[in-house]
């Protein structure tokens, strides 16, 4: 689990937007796609590991996975999310 102090200083490496913990709905939707073999990261690689945690960019368009409590802040590892409703 990420500490509140760490979460306050982390930003998207691409846009510098703030990040928040992904809610259960987002993780459930992504994990269904993992199970079905259709989730890919920005590099186009299939995501094979279920997500326990993730950080969602302020605009809601990108998720950075958190693996074993460590945020993976690499652009290629990011997962593009559906555009948020307007």
Q: What is the pLDDT of residues 17-57, one digit of tens each?
A: 999 999 999 999 999 999 999 999 999 999 999 999 999 99
Q: Is residue 61 part of a domain?
A: yes
Q: Is residue 55 part of a domain?
A: yes
φ, ψ of residue 81 in degrees (nearest 5): -105, 160
Tens digit of pLDDT for each residue in 27-37? 999 999 999 99
Percentage of residues in the chain having pLDDT higher than 90: 90
* Structural domain range at position 25: 4-80
Q: Does 84 have pLDDT greater than 60?
A: no
Helix (H) or strand (E) holding 53: strand 53-57
Q: Is residue 41 part of a domain?
A: yes
Structural domains of the chain, count: 1
14 DSSP assignment: T
1 DSSP assignment: -
HSE, CB side, 13 Å, CA atoms: give it for residue 38: 6
């Amino acid at each position: 689990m990420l500490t509140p102090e760490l979460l306050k200083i982390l930003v998207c490496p691409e846009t510098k937007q703030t990040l928040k913990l992904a809610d259960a709905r987002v993780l459930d939707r992504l994990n269904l796609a993992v199970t079905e073999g259709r989730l890919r990261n920005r590099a186009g690689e299939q995501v094979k590991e279920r997500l326990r945690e993730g950080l969602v960019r302020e605009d809601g368009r990108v998720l950075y996975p958190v693996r074993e409590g460590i945020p993976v802040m690499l652009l290629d590892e990011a997962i593009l999310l559906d555009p948020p409703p307007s």
